[in-house]
Structure 1
Amino acid sequence: MSRPGFVRRHPFSTVLLLLLALLLGWVWQERVNLQAFPDIIGAYTAKEYCSCRYVMNNDVAYCQGYVKQWVPGSLLDDADGKRVTASGMGRTHSAQWIGERQGCRLSP
Protein backbone atom coordinates (compact mmCIF):
# COMPACT_ATOMS: atom_id res chain seq x y z
CA MET A 1 0.00 0.00 0.00
CA SER A 2 1.42 3.38 -1.00
CA ARG A 3 1.32 6.49 1.15
CA PRO A 4 -0.45 9.57 -0.22
CA GLY A 5 1.83 12.35 -1.50
CA PHE A 6 2.21 15.93 -0.29
CA VAL A 7 -0.33 17.27 -2.80
CA ARG A 8 -3.05 14.92 -1.62
CA ARG A 9 -2.35 15.47 2.06
CA HIS A 10 -2.01 19.29 1.81
CA PRO A 11 -4.08 20.56 -1.13
CA PHE A 12 -4.46 24.11 0.27
CA SER A 13 -0.74 24.42 0.97
CA THR A 14 0.00 23.24 -2.55
CA VAL A 15 -2.33 25.85 -4.07
CA LEU A 16 -0.83 28.59 -1.88
CA LEU A 17 2.70 27.60 -2.92
CA LEU A 18 1.72 27.66 -6.58
CA LEU A 19 0.10 31.09 -6.19
CA LEU A 20 3.19 32.40 -4.43
CA ALA A 21 5.41 31.08 -7.21
CA LEU A 22 3.20 32.76 -9.82
CA LEU A 23 3.23 36.04 -7.89
CA LEU A 24 7.01 35.99 -7.58
CA GLY A 25 7.32 35.26 -11.29
CA TRP A 26 5.05 38.18 -12.14
CA VAL A 27 6.96 40.55 -9.79
CA TRP A 28 10.26 39.53 -11.40
CA GLN A 29 8.86 40.08 -14.89
CA GLU A 30 7.44 43.53 -13.97
CA ARG A 31 10.34 44.65 -11.77
CA VAL A 32 11.28 47.65 -13.95
CA ASN A 33 7.71 48.95 -14.01
CA LEU A 34 7.27 48.38 -10.28
CA GLN A 35 10.46 50.34 -9.54
CA ALA A 36 9.19 53.29 -11.62
CA PHE A 37 5.80 53.39 -9.89
CA PRO A 38 6.75 55.68 -6.94
CA ASP A 39 8.14 58.28 -9.36
CA ILE A 40 5.04 58.15 -11.51
CA ILE A 41 2.74 58.77 -8.54
CA GLY A 42 4.61 61.86 -7.27
CA ALA A 43 5.03 63.36 -10.72
CA TYR A 44 1.40 62.72 -11.63
CA THR A 45 0.20 64.38 -8.42
CA ALA A 46 2.34 67.50 -8.97
CA LYS A 47 1.26 67.83 -12.60
CA GLU A 48 -2.43 67.25 -11.90
CA TYR A 49 -2.52 69.75 -9.03
CA CYS A 50 -0.67 72.35 -11.10
CA SER A 51 -3.09 71.88 -14.00
CA CYS A 52 -6.12 71.98 -11.70
CA ARG A 53 -4.93 75.11 -9.93
CA TYR A 54 -3.24 77.20 -12.64
CA VAL A 55 -4.59 75.96 -15.97
CA MET A 56 -8.21 75.40 -14.92
CA ASN A 57 -8.11 78.19 -12.26
CA ASN A 58 -9.87 76.11 -9.59
CA ASP A 59 -9.60 77.08 -5.94
CA VAL A 60 -7.06 75.53 -3.56
CA ALA A 61 -9.53 73.39 -1.60
CA TYR A 62 -10.99 71.81 -4.73
CA CYS A 63 -7.58 70.94 -6.19
CA GLN A 64 -6.28 69.57 -2.88
CA GLY A 65 -9.33 67.32 -2.66
CA TYR A 66 -8.88 66.27 -6.29
CA VAL A 67 -5.27 65.13 -5.92
CA LYS A 68 -5.80 63.69 -2.43
CA GLN A 69 -7.79 60.94 -4.17
CA TRP A 70 -4.59 59.75 -5.80
CA VAL A 71 -1.85 59.84 -3.21
CA PRO A 72 -1.53 60.61 0.45
CA GLY A 73 1.51 62.80 0.86
CA SER A 74 2.59 66.39 1.19
CA LEU A 75 1.82 69.14 -1.25
CA LEU A 76 3.48 72.56 -1.38
CA ASP A 77 1.85 75.23 -3.54
CA ASP A 78 3.97 78.29 -4.32
CA ALA A 79 1.22 80.58 -5.64
CA ASP A 80 3.63 83.43 -6.45
CA GLY A 81 5.87 81.26 -8.60
CA LYS A 82 2.99 79.02 -9.76
CA ARG A 83 5.06 76.01 -8.80
CA VAL A 84 3.78 72.88 -7.09
CA THR A 85 5.90 70.34 -5.23
CA ALA A 86 4.33 66.99 -4.35
CA SER A 87 5.81 64.21 -2.24
CA GLY A 88 4.45 60.70 -2.15
CA MET A 89 5.83 57.20 -1.68
CA GLY A 90 9.23 58.60 -0.74
CA ARG A 91 9.73 60.66 -3.89
CA THR A 92 9.35 64.41 -4.54
CA HIS A 93 8.49 66.06 -7.85
CA SER A 94 7.66 69.58 -8.97
CA ALA A 95 5.56 71.07 -11.73
CA GLN A 96 5.47 74.68 -12.82
CA TRP A 97 2.97 76.67 -14.81
CA ILE A 98 4.64 77.84 -18.03
CA GLY A 99 1.89 79.83 -19.71
CA GLU A 100 -1.63 79.76 -21.06
CA ARG A 101 -0.75 77.81 -24.18
CA GLN A 102 1.84 75.49 -22.59
CA GLY A 103 0.09 74.76 -19.28
CA CYS A 104 2.14 73.02 -16.58
CA ARG A 105 5.38 71.16 -17.05
CA LEU A 106 7.30 68.84 -14.73
CA SER A 107 10.45 70.52 -13.46
CA PRO A 108 13.79 68.76 -13.29
Structure 2
Amino acid sequence: MKRLLLLVLLGLLAWGWSERAALSAFPGILSAYSAKEFCSCRYVMGLDTGYCQAYVKQWLPLSELRDDVPARRVEARGLGRSASAQWLGPREGCRLLP
Protein backbone atom coordinates (compact mmCIF):
# COMPACT_ATOMS: atom_id res chain seq x y z
CA MET A 1 0.00 0.00 0.00
CA LYS A 2 2.80 2.43 0.84
CA ARG A 3 4.54 1.64 -2.44
CA LEU A 4 1.37 2.36 -4.38
CA LEU A 5 0.92 5.67 -2.58
CA LEU A 6 4.55 6.58 -3.25
CA LEU A 7 4.17 5.65 -6.93
CA VAL A 8 1.05 7.81 -7.25
CA LEU A 9 2.79 10.72 -5.53
CA LEU A 10 5.80 10.44 -7.84
CA GLY A 11 3.49 10.30 -10.85
CA LEU A 12 1.71 13.48 -9.73
CA LEU A 13 5.02 15.25 -9.18
CA ALA A 14 6.24 14.23 -12.64
CA TRP A 15 2.99 15.41 -14.23
CA GLY A 16 3.14 18.70 -12.30
CA TRP A 17 6.70 19.29 -13.46
CA SER A 18 5.82 18.62 -17.09
CA GLU A 19 2.81 20.98 -16.89
CA ARG A 20 4.49 23.69 -14.81
CA ALA A 21 3.94 26.45 -17.40
CA ALA A 22 0.20 25.80 -17.61
CA LEU A 23 -0.15 25.43 -13.84
CA SER A 24 1.66 28.71 -13.21
CA ALA A 25 -0.70 30.54 -15.61
CA PHE A 26 -3.86 29.24 -13.93
CA PRO A 27 -4.15 31.81 -11.09
CA GLY A 28 -4.16 34.67 -13.61
CA ILE A 29 -6.82 33.00 -15.72
CA LEU A 30 -9.35 32.97 -12.87
CA SER A 31 -9.21 36.71 -12.27
CA ALA A 32 -8.95 37.64 -15.96
CA TYR A 33 -11.94 35.48 -16.92
CA SER A 34 -14.03 36.89 -14.09
CA ALA A 35 -13.19 40.53 -14.85
CA LYS A 36 -13.86 40.18 -18.58
CA GLU A 37 -17.07 38.19 -18.26
CA PHE A 38 -18.51 40.43 -15.52
CA CYS A 39 -17.70 43.52 -17.59
CA SER A 40 -19.39 42.02 -20.66
CA CYS A 41 -22.40 40.88 -18.67
CA ARG A 42 -22.82 44.23 -16.93
CA TYR A 43 -21.96 46.78 -19.61
CA VAL A 44 -22.39 45.03 -22.96
CA MET A 45 -25.52 43.05 -22.12
CA GLY A 46 -26.80 45.64 -19.60
CA LEU A 47 -27.77 43.11 -16.93
CA ASP A 48 -27.95 43.83 -13.20
CA THR A 49 -25.05 43.35 -10.79
CA GLY A 50 -26.54 40.41 -8.88
CA TYR A 51 -27.13 38.40 -12.04
CA CYS A 52 -23.62 39.10 -13.35
CA GLN A 53 -22.00 38.12 -10.04
CA ALA A 54 -23.83 34.79 -10.16
CA TYR A 55 -22.87 34.39 -13.84
CA VAL A 56 -19.12 34.65 -13.20
CA LYS A 57 -19.14 32.59 -10.00
CA GLN A 58 -16.51 29.83 -10.11
CA TRP A 59 -15.71 26.81 -7.99
CA LEU A 60 -12.67 28.70 -6.74
CA PRO A 61 -13.94 31.87 -5.12
CA LEU A 62 -12.68 35.34 -5.89
CA SER A 63 -11.35 37.34 -2.99
CA GLU A 64 -12.70 40.56 -4.51
CA LEU A 65 -14.86 41.71 -7.42
CA ARG A 66 -15.03 45.49 -7.67
CA ASP A 67 -17.31 47.31 -10.11
CA ASP A 68 -16.50 50.98 -10.77
CA VAL A 69 -19.78 52.05 -12.37
CA PRO A 70 -18.83 55.63 -13.44
CA ALA A 71 -15.67 54.40 -15.19
CA ARG A 72 -17.34 51.17 -16.38
CA ARG A 73 -14.34 49.26 -15.10
CA VAL A 74 -14.23 45.94 -13.27
CA GLU A 75 -11.41 44.55 -11.13
CA ALA A 76 -11.30 40.92 -10.03
CA ARG A 77 -8.84 39.45 -7.55
CA GLY A 78 -8.39 35.75 -6.90
CA LEU A 79 -5.60 33.29 -6.07
CA GLY A 80 -3.25 36.21 -5.45
CA ARG A 81 -3.64 37.77 -8.91
CA SER A 82 -5.78 40.62 -10.12
CA ALA A 83 -7.10 41.64 -13.52
CA SER A 84 -9.13 44.59 -14.78
CA ALA A 85 -11.48 44.98 -17.71
CA GLN A 86 -13.08 48.15 -19.01
CA TRP A 87 -15.97 48.88 -21.32
CA LEU A 88 -14.63 50.76 -24.35
CA GLY A 89 -17.84 51.46 -26.22
CA PRO A 90 -20.74 49.87 -28.06
CA ARG A 91 -18.60 48.68 -30.97
CA GLU A 92 -15.58 47.52 -28.94
CA GLY A 93 -17.27 46.04 -25.87
CA CYS A 94 -15.06 45.15 -22.90
CA ARG A 95 -11.34 44.55 -22.99
CA LEU A 96 -8.83 43.29 -20.44
CA LEU A 97 -6.44 46.02 -19.37
CA PRO A 98 -2.70 45.41 -19.28
Change (3 A) 1:57 1:70: farther
- The count of aligned residue pairs is 97
Match of 2:94 in 1: 104
Q: Percent identity?
A: 59
Q: Give the aligned CA root-mean-square deviation in angstroms.
A: 1.1
Alignment TM-score, normalising by the size of structure 2 = 0.93
Larger-Rg structure: 1
The corresponding residue for 2:8 is 19
Q: 1:70, 1:63 → 2: CA distance?
A: 16
Moved over 4 A (4+): none
Corresponding residue to 2:61 among 62, 67, 72: 72
Tell me how far 1:69 sits from its aligned partner: 3.1
Amino acid at match of 1:34: L
Instruction: Report what 2:75 is aligned to.
Output: 85
Q: Which runs of 5+ in 1 are unaligned?
A: 1-11
The match for 1:3 is none
Local SS of the residue matching 1:68: coil
Higher relative contact order (CA 8 A, sep 6+): 2
CA distance in 2, matches of 1:16, 1:48: 40
Structure 2 gap segments, 5+ residues each = none
